[in-house]
Structure 1
Amino acid sequence: MSDSEHDTNAAALSESSGWWSVISPPRRSLDVLAAVLTGVASAFALSGPGNAWLSWIAVVPALCCLYRSGFWRAFLFGAVAGVVETAAIWYWLAIITKQMLASVWLGIMFLSVLGLIYAVHFGTLYALIACVMRGMGRSRRTILRALLVVLIACLWAAFEYGHTALMMLISHIFPLPMGYAQWRTPAVIQVASIAGVYGVSFLIVLCNAALADSLFRRRFALIPWVAGFLLLCLLGGYLRLRYVSHDAVQGQSVAVAVLQGNIPAFDKFDRSKSSFLAHRYLELGGLANSTHPDLIVWTESAVPWPLQEDDELVTTMLRVTEPSHACHILGATFPIKGFTNKYYNSVFLVQPDGDITSQYDKRNLIPFLERTIHLSIMPASGTIHPAGREYVVGPRPPYLDSPFGRIGVMVCNENLYPPVARESAQHGGEFLVQLANDAWFLESSPINQHFAIALFRAVETGRDTVIANNVGISAIIDSCGRIKTRSEMRTHVCLSGKVERRKERTFYVLYGDLFAQVCAGISVVAVALSLVVYRRPVPDGDGRSAGAGARPPDAEDAVAGRNRRRDKG
């Protein structure tokens, strides 16, 4: 072979290993399309109420591509899938920012930052999955293929667990594990009482990985085993739904009424409209009294102005339940003594005579809306809250003491994080209440997502859950995640029903995210061993070493094969 031909081949080999080679050949363009398809399918599964079935196949296209991908190609595929999923699910972030700050560009910036976070998350996840695939080799032995499928599911669950912890630390918003797609399938989500939502994600990705492996290798021996395991989990879920009791306190169910005010977001904090707001809740309170409840639950910031002892309107609202002798739980802004513009976002247990006997102050504040962040692009107050208030993290654990036992409390976005509800149950909460105000959302998608997540907190803790949301969805949910009653969005309504007081602790309450932590440990070991194998020289078709970090047969092998055929010719 001449020097010029050698230089040409060397250039071709160098070009094939560059970043641009990911999308240049037609096959790789199809691989990127598969990553886009995975992102779209995952988004639809998580955001559409009738699209849960998509979650069982959503990741298959991307996983099939990873079998023939190196580390960086897999990272790029994952980044593409993450960006697409972010844009499809959280598009409303740009809309709500424009609504509150009159700047669509600022909303696009926030969405871009979120997209970058998800790109890194999924890119790293897919790259490590490709690494484990490479480490396991292309064995056709069923036992090794089964091990690979389990390791992929472990990696996925571990990354969701780590991602949720990270998002809770930096933003207190936006974690959305794949398991939430199954909120309408009670038998499937019962595994959350043991393994949390990450256990449901594990099952979903296990099925995706088995399908991808079978399609890629065209050998289907794994399918019956995975299907059998899934059916076993479903059987356990059905048995729990039908037979398992969470030790409800006998004869002590609590009659509950939920007030959904449907107050527009900006009207709620306009003091000139306080009479309208009070009239709406007094009307709903009268409807609630007619159902003879033990407890009436209001929404987050139902009284949006600071509570003052000499405020006659507040006093009237606090005593609205006196005719029915019912206690009530309501959200209100509570000023911190000694500060002029610092408040707690609080929840109060109020006796029928208007006396406040217990209080919880929200601890997980939403950045920019509740937690001030001073940036040059933000208002001088550092917040986009309509009232310009600065909220402070509360010091109290998440529960209220009441005549009906201890009640666990979550405020708005706090239901996104399993540890909050778990802590409530650990402190003796016998049922849960979530107070929220989703009036900020102009779209229905985030409201549906917010509601779906609450069902998992009920299953994980084994506690009946009451949701009081200003614009909906309000509901009463049993300890297995079944909806007893619910409201429609954007209507003012009074819901009524009963919740059971429960004391038994689920495995999840006792041990938390042990399953996800075990998955993380297994993943670390698997990735470490795979990296050792990945860095070993891999012989090419002539038996020569391809060098450390060689990729699976793709462009490099194509160039080498073409050269050998030309030399022979």
Structure 2
Amino acid sequence: MGLAAGAVYFAGTLYWTSAVMKVYGGMNTVLAALVALALVGYLAIYPALFAAVSSRLLWVAGPAALVAVPLVWVATEYARGYLLTGFPWVLLGYSQVTVLPIAQLASAVGVFGLSALVAAVNAALAWAAVAPSTRQRVLTAAAAALFVAGVAAWGQARLSDGSLTRGGASVKVAVIQGNVPQDQKWDPVHAREIFARYLRMSREAAAAGARFIVWPESSTPFFFEEDPAGGAAIQDLARETGTYVLVGSDQVERASPPRYYNAAFLVGPDGATRAVYRKMHLVPFGEYVPLKRLLFFVSPLVEAVADFTPGDEAVVLPLENGAASTAICYEVVYPDLVRQSVLAGSELLTTITNDAWYGWSSAPHQHFEQAVMRAIEQGRYLVRSANTGVSALVDPYGRILQRSALFNTEVLVGDVGLRSGLTLYARTGEVVAWVAIVFTVLALAATWRQGEGRKGGRKR
């Protein structure tokens, strides 16, 4: 049942993967579908593992083991997020990101804590449905309702307090959504027009008062450091407008063999490059192909993918009156990666991405909502620049201040605060996940001994 439930869940949320592999990976329809099914099958292993462990606990300990079920769920979710490079997409806790009073809990326990909350409430409701007495059913349902109400009341009080949006330094930021179709991004025929569009939109943003301009991932149709004319044009833009410009552009390191990085360059008002961030968590089968020799059957995708090298450090982007950081594309779904940038001194979160790959599917919306959770967890404003959307300005409580439409050419300009305080989650990290893992291992060990004892007793 766990495997089937997992397969249904991931097939429903990741249905768009086959289209991406077909349209942009060069695979035929059948192969793209098979690879997508393989991904779904792999991810379904984790809910299956959850079901197997939970069944074991229930078999040995009875209904009392339902108390442990939320921790088992979190342990398997965390494993999915980090094993074999990890894929922490559409975690259960993200279901609450638009329910802002509940979502505030992430500032204390992160998205895995929210997953635990959702799993706990559902475990309680499951017991309420099958408890042997009416009294037990009513008390369990009432306890679950009161618990949720308490979390919501605390979250609403946090929203009403609003201290994270008052006072302190701020910067007027601009997000440039160039809306460049994926099949035109690297086409020399369109390169000049694409670049001119970004320069023109950036000047419009500066005229509107922006002092920090954020371009999307891989926004330049050239390598920033390798194209003298293109690089000079961006430097001139920063100097002429007196702005900081964050530019997503690939970088090459002249080694043997050469190493390529998905990078972001911060150009200061003097035209100098103030910081360079290299993407640390690459997308498997998107920016590199793991186990190339073993996975020879995805060779069309291998040929379509640039073989990038991961960066190795969090980088703070110095602004005039504070510091920012950026996460490139898929990195933003890794809570601890963003947390590390905050611990390094980031007072403003940015994330740059190119979601043109996903078309009109639900993927751009899934990606955006997962980014919003990072703002709540860290108590920071979030600036998101996406080539084709969704671009947005988000406050530290997860409220959307401005949001672009998909596949629309737009400039968003607004004031965002710079915050230096740390949330409980920023200070403690994945405590909930590690408690869940330790508890699950210990519970399994204990129930295994008890289970063996039962078997021995039956044999006698």
TM-score, normalization by structure 1: 0.75
Say if 2:203 and 2:241, in contact at 8 Å, map to a contact too.
no
Superposed CA deviations along residues 370-400 of structure 1, whole A, max 9, x for unmatched, are 1244343344894423xxx332112332432
1:231-246 paired onto structure 2 within 5 Å:
231-243=149-161, 245-246=163-164
Deviation at 1:437, TM superposition (A): 0.4
* Counterpart-to-counterpart distance in 1, 2:308 and 2:442: 43
Superposed CA deviations along residues 277-330 of structure 1, whole A, max 9, x for unmatched, are 112212311321221111011100111321246632332234324443111111
Query: Kindly, what percent of the aligned residue pairs are identical?
Result: 29
Deviation at 1:444, TM superposition (A): 2.5
* Counterpart-to-counterpart distance in 2, 1:244 and 1:136: 45
1:255-266 paired onto structure 2 within 5 Å:
255-266=172-183
Deviation at 1:356, TM superposition (A): 1.1
2:170 is equivalent to residue 253 of structure 1: yes
- Report the more deviating stretch, 348-357 or 396-405: 396-405
Q: What letter is aligned with 1:107?
A: A
Quote the residue 1:457 is aligned against: 374
* Counterpart-to-counterpart distance in 1, 2:33 and 2:200: 40
Q: 1:271 aligns with which of 188, 198, 207?
A: 188
2:44 is equivalent to residue 119 of structure 1: yes
Q: 2:428 aligns with which of 511, 535, 553?
A: 511
Say if 2:108 and 2:423, in contact at 8 Å, map to a contact too.
yes
Quote the residue 1:12 is aligned against: none
* Counterpart-to-counterpart distance in 1, 2:169 and 2:386: 25
Task: Give the secondary structure class of the aligned counterpart of 1:305.
Answer: coil
Quote the residue 2:104 is aligned against: 190
Deviation at 1:428, TM superposition (A): 0.7
* Counterpart-to-counterpart distance in 1, 2:72 and 2:378: 25
Quote the residue 2:62 is aligned against: 137
Superposed CA deviations along residues 328-354 of structure 1, whole A, max 9, x for unmatched, are 111111111235753211111112343
The verdict on how the C-alpha distance between 1:237 and 1:228 changes in structure 2, with shifts beyond 3 A counting, is same
Q: 2:200 aligns with which of 280, 283, 286?
A: 283
2:295 is equivalent to residue 370 of structure 1: no
The verdict on how the C-alpha distance between 1:172 and 1:282 changes in structure 2, with shifts beyond 3 A counting, is farther
Quote the residue 1:356 is aligned against: 273
Superposed CA deviations along residues 449-472 of structure 1, whole A, max 9, x for unmatched, are 000001111111111110000010
* Counterpart-to-counterpart distance in 2, 1:295 and 1:163: 36
Say if 2:375 and 2:382, in contact at 8 Å, map to a contact too.
yes
Say if 1:536 and 1:547, in contact at 8 Å, map to a contact too.
no
Quote the residue 2:15 is aligned against: 91
Quote the residue 1:202 is aligned against: 116
Deviation at 1:519, TM superposition (A): 2.1
Say if 1:307 and 1:332, in contact at 8 Å, map to a contact too.
yes
- Report the more deviating stretch, 435-444 or 423-432: 435-444
Specify which structure has the bigger relative contact order, considering alpha-carbon pairs within 8 angstroms and separated by 6 or more residues: 2
Say if 1:163 and 1:175, in contact at 8 Å, map to a contact too.
no
Quote the residue 1:105 is aligned against: 30
Deviation at 1:362, TM superposition (A): 0.7
* Counterpart-to-counterpart distance in 2, 1:365 and 1:286: 32
Say if 2:58 and 2:66, in contact at 8 Å, map to a contact too.
no
Say if 1:289 and 1:323, in contact at 8 Å, map to a contact too.
no
* Counterpart-to-counterpart distance in 2, 1:367 and 1:114: 12
Quote the residue 2:263 is aligned against: 346
The verdict on how the C-alpha distance between 1:530 and 1:378 changes in structure 2, with shifts beyond 3 A counting, is closer
Say if 1:383 and 1:390, in contact at 8 Å, map to a contact too.
no
Quote the residue 1:80 is aligned against: 4
Deviation at 1:506, TM superposition (A): 1.0
Say if 1:254 and 1:294, in contact at 8 Å, map to a contact too.
yes
Deviation at 1:191, TM superposition (A): 0.9
In structure 1, the gaps of 5 or more residues are 1-76, 139-143, 540-544, 549-569
Task: Give the secondary structure class of the aligned counterpart of 2:390.
Answer: coil
- CA RMSD, 1 decimal: 2.3
Say if 1:431 and 1:464, in contact at 8 Å, map to a contact too.
yes
* Counterpart-to-counterpart distance in 2, 1:338 and 1:357: 23
* Counterpart-to-counterpart distance in 2, 1:441 and 1:310: 29
Superposed CA deviations along residues 36-71 of structure 1, whole A, max 9, x for unmatched, are xxxxxxxxxxxxxxxxxxxxxxxxxxxxxxxxxxxx
- Report the more deviating stretch, 206-215 or 398-407: 398-407
The verdict on how the C-alpha distance between 1:525 and 1:396 changes in structure 2, with shifts beyond 3 A counting, is closer
Say if 1:371 and 1:383, in contact at 8 Å, map to a contact too.
no
Task: Give the secondary structure class of the aligned counterpart of 2:68.
Answer: helix
Quote the residue 2:95 is aligned against: 181
Task: Give the secondary structure class of the aligned counterpart of 1:466.
Answer: strand
Say if 2:222 and 2:230, in contact at 8 Å, map to a contact too.
no
* Counterpart-to-counterpart distance in 1, 2:302 and 2:7: 28
1:138-153 paired onto structure 2 within 5 Å:
144=64, 148-153=65-70
Quote the residue 2:445 is aligned against: 528
Quote the residue 2:312 is aligned against: 395
* Counterpart-to-counterpart distance in 2, 1:529 and 1:309: 60
Say if 2:323 and 2:345, in contact at 8 Å, map to a contact too.
yes
Quote the residue 2:141 is aligned against: 223
Say if 2:168 and 2:419, in contact at 8 Å, map to a contact too.
no
Deviation at 1:443, TM superposition (A): 3.4
Say if 1:289 and 1:321, in contact at 8 Å, map to a contact too.
no
* Counterpart-to-counterpart distance in 1, 2:234 and 2:267: 11
The verdict on how the C-alpha distance between 1:522 and 1:495 changes in structure 2, with shifts beyond 3 A counting, is same
Say if 1:461 and 1:509, in contact at 8 Å, map to a contact too.
yes
Q: What letter is aligned with 2:55?
A: A
Quote the residue 1:470 is aligned against: 387
Say if 2:353 and 2:386, in contact at 8 Å, map to a contact too.
yes
Q: What letter is aligned with 1:216?
A: V
Say if 1:246 and 1:503, in contact at 8 Å, map to a contact too.
no
- Report the more deviating stretch, 444-453 or 216-225: 216-225
Say if 1:299 and 1:468, in contact at 8 Å, map to a contact too.
yes
Superposed CA deviations along residues 207-238 of structure 1, whole A, max 9, x for unmatched, are 11111111122541211112111111111111
Deviation at 1:137, TM superposition (A): 2.4
Superposed CA deviations along residues 435-454 of structure 1, whole A, max 9, x for unmatched, are 00001112331111000001
In structure 2, the gaps of 5 or more residues are none
- Report the more deviating stretch, 337-346 or 481-490: 337-346
Task: Give the secondary structure class of the aligned counterpart of 1:509.
Answer: helix
